[in-house]
Amino acid sequence: DAGVTQSPTHLIKTRGQQVTLRCSPKSGHDTVSWYQQALGQGPQFIFQYYEEEERQRGNFPDRFSGHQFPNYSSELNVNALLLGDSALYLCASSWIGGLSGNTIYFGEGSWLTVV
Amino acid sequence: GESVGLHLPTLSVQEGDNSIINCAYSNSASDYFIWYKQESGKGPQFIIDIRSNMDKRQGQRVTVLLNKTVKHLSLQIAATQPGDSAVYFCAEKMGNSGYSTLTFGKGTMLLVSP
């Protein structure tokens, strides 16, 4: 059973460009959340998708947008990249009925470097 | 906004010692508190969680203690091994369903010397 898979694993972009990151949730999971983890910091919640709609959003600008597809996979898009967007982007999947802490699974992340 | 924070950024121990990693939180409404282990270049890995109505929970070599009076959470690792070297995060889980989101602290790096 594959866990949460993310792609690409590493990428380098130039300021002002746009980037799309992808996530496939763990089998049986229907909810996808995205987190940004700057170097030396804890992950920060960006937004969450369920039933192809954004359900919750953290304190991130509109340059950050996403999408969830009928197969539950998700994309994170960032427009007009800034140097400060350089970070590890983590995808977490869960099941909407999940209660305890061990129902959330993280992928290995996508390392984004903006130059 | 409310946040979860850690007291010690780095903890160095000898193999076989017991390790204690601490965390302070500010949101009393959290339903679960979770400890994650993150190795270099990898995503966070679930270690153990504790529900807000509990004081203590034990797993394999790990124990989590929750003191709601002082809003303090700790992770105890028994007989620490070199493979335990990683960054450890505490996180609050708001809500008791899949709609829940996580609020993380900055993390503590655990270094285990052989």
Question: How confident is the model over B57-94, as pLDDT tens digits?
Answer: 999 999 999 999 999 999 999 999 999 999 999 999 88
A4, amino acid identity: V
Q: Which of B4, B46, B104 is nearest residue A101 as measured by Cβ atoms?
A: B46
Dihedral of the alpha carbons of A6, A73, B102, A77, in degrees to the nearest 10: 70
| Contact status of B49 with chain A (Cβ, < 8 Å) | yes
Mutate to test the interface with A, among B101, B106, B108, B109 (most CBs of A within 10 A): B101
Query: Is the pLDDT score of A13 beyond 50?
Result: yes
CA–chain centroid gap for B41, Å, is 19
Residue A101 CA to residue B46 CA, distance in Å, equals 8
Question: How confident is the model over A77-115, as pLDDT tens digits?
Answer: 999 999 999 999 999 999 877 777 778 899 999 999 999
Q: What is the pLDDT of residue B96?
A: 60
Closest alpha carbon to A7 in A17, A18, A19, A21: A21
Strand A10-13 and strand A87-94: the pairing is: unpaired
C-alpha distance from residue A89 to each of A52, A97, B29, B40 (Å): 20, 25, 27, 14
Q: Can the peptide bond before residue A8 be classed as cis, meaning omega within 30 degrees of 0?
A: yes
